[in-house]
Structure formats: C-alpha cells, structure tokens
Amino acid sequence: MERVWLSALGRDVSRVALGTWSMGGWMWGGADRDAACATIERALDAGIDIVDTAPAYGFGLSEELLGEVLDRRRNRSEVVIATKLGLSWDSRHEPWRDSSPGRIREEVVASLSRLRTDYIDLYQVHWPDPKVALDQTAAELGMLVDEGLIRAVGVCNYSGDQMQEFCSGGRLDASQFRYNLFERAAEEDVLPFCRAHGLVTLAYSPLARGLLSGKMKRGHEATDQARRGDMFHGESYVRHLAAVERLDEFAQERYGRRVIHLAIRWLLDQPGLTIALWGARTPEQIDAAEGVSGFTLDVSAMAEIDAIIAGELGA
C-alpha cells in the first residue's frame, strides 16, 4: 500500500483511505453492523490506516462502528480518524448545515464519544454554512486544536474562494472534494488552490458512485438515492457504461489491471492529489484495493484515457 507523509499530523498514512458513507446505510438501503465492522477490520489488516467518516453517515452509526472496532483492536494511535462537523438532523433524519461555534462544541463532544477516543486527527467541515462566516468557523476549530481535541483542520466541498476566506480565520490543513474520471470540476479552482497552499487533498467518490467499479450493467439502472443524476439514467447511463468498458479494456491490455484500479490510479497520479477514499460495505470490496499499487500512468496513458472518455461521452 502506497504511503504519503502528512506534515500536519507528523506521520505517514496510506494513500488509499477507507470511506464509510455507505456503511451508515443512509441512501444505501440500510446498514449491516456486522458487515461494516468486518469491512473496517479487513481494511486495517490490508494496511489502510486512515478512515474517513462523519456523524451524518447513518446519523452517528458509522462513527460508532469505527469506535467499536478501534476499541476492540486497541490500536487507536495507529489509525488516523478523519471525521466531520457541520451537518445536523432532526427526528425525521432531515439534515441541515450548522457550523456555528456553539454547535461545533456540541458536535466534537458527541463524535469523541461515538469514536471512543479523546482526540480526532482530522476534523473537517462537511459543507460550507451560508449562515455562518467561514472565518468564524475556522477560528473555533483553531481553538479545538489548541485544546488538543483535534489535530488538524479540513474542509469538504469548499470552492477556492471559500477556502481563502476560511484561511483568514485560522489554519487549514486539508480539503476533501468529489473527484473522479467523470467528474472533474475540482480541477477548475479547488485543486489549484490546494496545490498552491500545500493542502492535503482527499478525493471522495473516486469510482463515481460505482460507475467506475465495472460492475454496473446496461438495462439495470440504479434506483437508490445515492445514485441520482444524469450519469445513472437514460442515454447518459449507456454512454458512461460504454466509456467504462473501453477503459476496462485499456487497463487490461496496458497494465493487466481492471477499470476499478485504473480509476484510482488516475487519481493518485494527479498533481496535488494526496489520498483517494475507497468506499466499501463488505470485506470483499476491500480486496481490489491491492491492485491500485505497482503501476503508474505516464503522459501518453493519461492522454489515451482522456480520448476514450471524450469519444464515448462526446466531451
């Protein structure tokens, strides 16, 4: 498993992180506690030592499951916990954004309890809150660092301008954003800002919510809430699946790998991209992560990948 040094934490971590959104069951048809815990165990055994979670993933459940596993294994210091703040929810599980200083204090206490730990390695603002000044949120998180409750500060789903405003109120160590072969909006201003400021970057949805796994088939359009949008329906779905098939052929012919490995490798070979989040619900879904290492994509391979996608999607 490839590793990278994180100066903000003073340690190295695997470049593939475990993503736990689907484990919580929200938008994924329910949760399976035993399978989720076994998945976390399998990831840690495979050398993945950074786990990304959030209170909103199962409304506390994903954090609880991670805390349960780490408590049982008694290896808290060997694992980097990246969790989030800024999404609250009501009794009907309807979420809203809240990054006010008072709410941040409530959230960090709740997350520490669910995770069974006394510190969080990377604490990330889940979404920008339009009702709270970004620099005010940054200042409050800086106080949590000073108090030893968190060790590094991150944001998720922030634009370059929003990160600039956030930085005016305090430190910023990391940025997490949606990024994959099919969804590249981060290249416009987010990645350039992160490179310019030396931020750790974490790409979520690296497999485009399953499209790049190679397992989705024509005639079987997704119906779950997690896979909304044009990519998963109608003619757009057919074109994206055709691109996946071509990319899979390319990966097999050139590297002896599959499209799932190519998609993650493409991310890890992007300038300024630090970590890719590998989402999983079952232990078996962790096994393919081993195929990400051992090869790199040169300039000609990157160009051929872009040509395949442009040819199939008309981009």
Return the active site residues: 57
User: Are 97 and 127 within 8 A, CB to CB?
Assistant: yes
Distance CA 264, CA 289 (A): 9
Residue 85, strand partner residues: 125
Cα dihedral angle (235, 239, 240, 243), rounded to 10 degrees?
A: 170
Q: Which residues pair with 96 in a beta bridge?
A: 88
Alpha helices (runs of H) in 154-225, residue ranges in sequence order:
160-167, 190-197
Amino acid 77 reads S
Q: How far apart are CA 216 and CA 285, in angstroms?
A: 14
Cβ of 192: how many Cβ atoms within 10 Å? 14
- Residue 126 CA neighbour count, 13 Å, CB half: 21
List Cβ neighbours of 173 (8 Å cut-off, separation of 6 or more).
8, 122, 152, 153, 154, 199, 200
Contact (CB, 8 A) for 198 and 243: no
